[in-house]
């Protein structure tokens, strides 16, 4: 069997997605997500110009070899564009392997390690009363874990708090929206939010919070310590993570667990974080960290150091990425949590999928392969619309991490 066709499909059913579809000589097809929010066309071009021509004629069964060919063969290693492109190829080849074997991909990964994949929802609102009612709504849907984000008094807008609460989407303009940030206002407000939330919902609900790379290590240490009475499951992305040793400073001061990794692309971005036990959850994803093959490598390393998975699952990761994530989540020994931000109906229609939500858990599809596809005719009705992620400035105008 050979690869006879590979095409890149860009579509915008409410938001932009980039998808790779691979076709084999025996008529099997596989799909992979290649979406890089705000930089979509760079991955589409990397695939179309540099990867697709090299795929034609290759044996689709050679997943590891193809991964190594694309990673080592480019000479220019790592980076979000390269690794999202490799991820799309890898995911599509696992999909094909499952279809050829007649098995859902999780069976090829060793079978089930659990009955369902525990997910967390993204509860957000401008004020505390609003977020309390959002959390209640998630509990009514059966969620056991929620990530809590609120507006900050004195700031006009805050990351993680959307116009539409259910479908949070930060990429809201062709040229990046500018936000203003105050660490002082933030650090003064957040502990009060969690005090209210715990008071209202008791100790059993898993609570998470996304800091979105905005603090320095010592500020993050202060936040972690101030949140200790409320027993968070994790404090996410407390600092920008280029400096892995910076996490040592946070660890020294607080027992609030730390999760990081949504912007990481390879195992090298988190090697020290894992082997030095500086984090508790690794949040790398299928689409941005080199596909099922490489993500499993990261999770296997993490398992040796008591680090659990907590994959990113925002709306900019397509239902193809979510399908692939669930096959990994259900099979690995060190699963922690899976983020689940619901896609809009338009998106779900373009990507018909067999995974389902029930009572706080997601369940992967039982169909052979990943159990997800792209409706190409429908996708063609939603042309690409430029949309960038916001930027962030301090009150004096200094550029800050978003």
Report the SS3 class of residue 212. Answer: coil
CA distance 270 to 318: 24
214, with CB counted inside 10 A (0-12, 13-18, 19+), is buried
Task: Give the per-residue contact string, 159-178, with ligand GCO (x = CB under 6 A; - = no).
Answer: -----------x--------
Q: Decide: is 316 part of the binding site for ligand GCO (CB under 6 A).
A: yes
Among the listed residues 46, 106, 143, 159, the single catalytic one is 159
Q: State which residue, 70 or 273, has the beta carbon closest to ligand GCO.
A: 273
Q: What is the DSSP string of 16-79?
A: -EEEEEEEETTS-EEEEE---TT-HHHHHHIIIIIIHHHHTT--TT-HHHHHHHHHHHTSS--S
Q: State which residue, 55 or 146, has the beta carbon closest to Mg ion.
A: 146
The interface with ligand GCO within residues 372-391 (CB under 6 A) comprises: 389
- How many CB atoms lie under 10 A from the CB of residue 398? 9
CA distance 243 to 37: 23
Q: Which residues of 3-24 are buried (b: 16+ CB within 10 A; e: fewer)?
A: beebebbbbbbbbbbbbbbbbb
Q: Across the chain, how many H-helices and E-strands are there?
A: 14, 16
Q: Decide: is 187 part of the binding site for ligand GCO (CB under 6 A).
A: no
Q: Least distance in Å: CB of 287 to ligand GCO? A: 11
Residue 391 interacting partner from ligand GCO, Mg ion, none (CB closer than 5 to 8 Å by kind): none
Residue 314 interacting partner from ligand GCO, Mg ion, none (CB closer than 5 to 8 Å by kind): ligand GCO
CA distance 41 to 49: 12
Q: Least distance in Å: CB of 62 to ligand GCO? A: 32
Interface residue with ligand GCO, options 16, 19, 37, 150 (CB under 6 A): 37
**Residue 327 near residue 109 (C-beta atoms within 8 A):** yes
Report the SS3 class of residue 131. Answer: helix
CA distance 310 to 120: 10
Does residue 122 carry a catalytic annotation? no
Structure tokens, 40: 């979509």
The interface with ligand GCO within residues 216-275 (CB under 6 A) comprises: 262
Q: State which residue, 210 or 280, has the beta carbon closest to Mg ion.
A: 210
Q: State which residue, 210 or 329, has the beta carbon closest to Mg ion.
A: 210
Does residue 168 carry a catalytic annotation? no
Q: Decide: is 210 part of the binding site for ligand GCO (CB under 6 A).
A: yes
Interface residue with ligand GCO, options 251, 312, 327, 400 (CB under 6 A): 312
Q: Least distance in Å: CB of 72 to ligand GCO? A: 28
Among the listed residues 122, 189, 209, 212, the single catalytic one is 212
The interface with Mg ion within residues 198-217 (CB under 5 A) comprises: 210
Report the SS3 class of residue 282. Answer: strand
Q: State which residue, 33 or 210, has the beta carbon closest to Mg ion.
A: 210
Residues that bind ligand GCO (CB under 6 A): 37, 170, 210, 212, 262, 312, 314, 316, 339, 389
The residues assigned a catalytic role are 159, 212
């Amino acid at each position: 069997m050979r690869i006879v066709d590979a095409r890149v499909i860009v579509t915008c059913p409410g938001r932009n997605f980039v998808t790779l579809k691979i076709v084999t000589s025996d008529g099997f097809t596989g799909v992979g997500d290649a979406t890089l929010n705000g930089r979509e066309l760079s991955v589409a071009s990397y695939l179309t110009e540099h990867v697709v021509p090299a795929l034609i004629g290759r044996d689709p069964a050679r997943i590891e070899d193809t991964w190594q060919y694309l990673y080592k063969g480019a000479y220019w290693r790592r980076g979000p564009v390269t690794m999202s492109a490799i991820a799309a190829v890898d995911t599509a080849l696992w999909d094909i392997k499952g279809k050829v074997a007649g098995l859902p991909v999780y069976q090829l990964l060793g079978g089930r390690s659990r009955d369902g994949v525990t997910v967390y929802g993204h509860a957000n609102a401008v004020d505390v009363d609003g977020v309390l009612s959002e959390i209640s709504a998630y509990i009514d849907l059966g969620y056991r874990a929620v990530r809590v984000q609120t507006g900050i008094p004195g700031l006009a807008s805050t990351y993680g708090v959307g116009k539409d609460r259910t479908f949070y989407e930060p990429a809201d303009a062709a040229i990046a929206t500018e936000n203003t940030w105050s660490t002082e206002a933030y650090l003064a407000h957040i502990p009060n939010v969690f005090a209210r939330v715990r008071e209202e919902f008791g100790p059993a609900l898993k609570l998470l919070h996304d800091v979105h790379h905005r603090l320095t290590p010592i500020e993050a240490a202060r936040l972690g310590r101030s949140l200790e009475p409320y027993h968070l499951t994790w404090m996410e992305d407390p600092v920008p993570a280029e400096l892995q040793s910076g996490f040592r400073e946070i660890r020294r001061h607080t027992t609030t667990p730390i999760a990081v990794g949504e912007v990481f692309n390879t195992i090298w971005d988190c090697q020290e974080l894992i082997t030095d036990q500086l984090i508790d959850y690794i949040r790398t994803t299928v689409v941005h960290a080199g596909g099922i093959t490489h993500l499993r490598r990261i999770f296997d390393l993490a398992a040796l150091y008591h680090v659990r998975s907590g994959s990113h699952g925002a709306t900019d990761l397509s239902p193809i990425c979510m399908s692939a994530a669930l096959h990994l989540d259900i099979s690995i020994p060190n699963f922690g949590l899976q983020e689940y931000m619901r896609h809009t109906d338009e998106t779900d229609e373009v990507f018909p999928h067999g995974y389902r939500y029930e009572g706080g858990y997601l369940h992967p599809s039982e169909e052979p392969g990943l159990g997800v596809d792209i409706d190409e005719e429908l996708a063609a009705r939603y042309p690409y619309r430029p949309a960038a992620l916001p930027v962030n400035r301090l009150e004096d105008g200094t550029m800050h991490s978003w």
